[in-house]
Amino acid sequence: MTKPLQVYLEDSEFERLDKYASEHGWSKSQAVRVAIRALTRKPETDSLLSASGMIDDLPEDLSENFDRYLQETFIAEKQSGYRKSRRKT
């Protein structure tokens, strides 16, 4: 059973909610429900699982092409210069 809830928002908050909901194809009510669930859920015991979903706008095929994306972001560091050892004569 659903219950009505009336909330007063600042103009900027309303605009952010409206934009977020439309970007996800949700109603404003759906976006508020998702936010409530996210704020009130029990903390995860698995730190890796709790990190899931923390980064927005990742490619949809990331899990399938993880190695390729990792290679594209890899930046090689310059090798450190080793001095040649001098033999004492």
CA distance 26 to 35: 12
Compute the distance between CA of residue 47 and CA of residue 79 in angstroms, rounded to an integer: 34
pTM to 2 decimals? 0.49
pLDDT in tens, 46-62: 676 667 677 777 888 88
Q: How confident is the model at residue 8 (pLDDT cuts 50, 70, 90)?
A: very high
Total residues belonging to the chain: 89
E strands present in the chain = none
| Residue 42: both structure tokens together | 């029990």
| 21 pLDDT tier (thresholds 50, 70, 90) | very high
Predicted local confidence at residue 44, as pLDDT? 66
State the helix-helix crossing angle for 11-24 and 28-40, rounded to 10 degrees: 100
Among all chains, which residue has been given the structure tokens 């998702």? 34
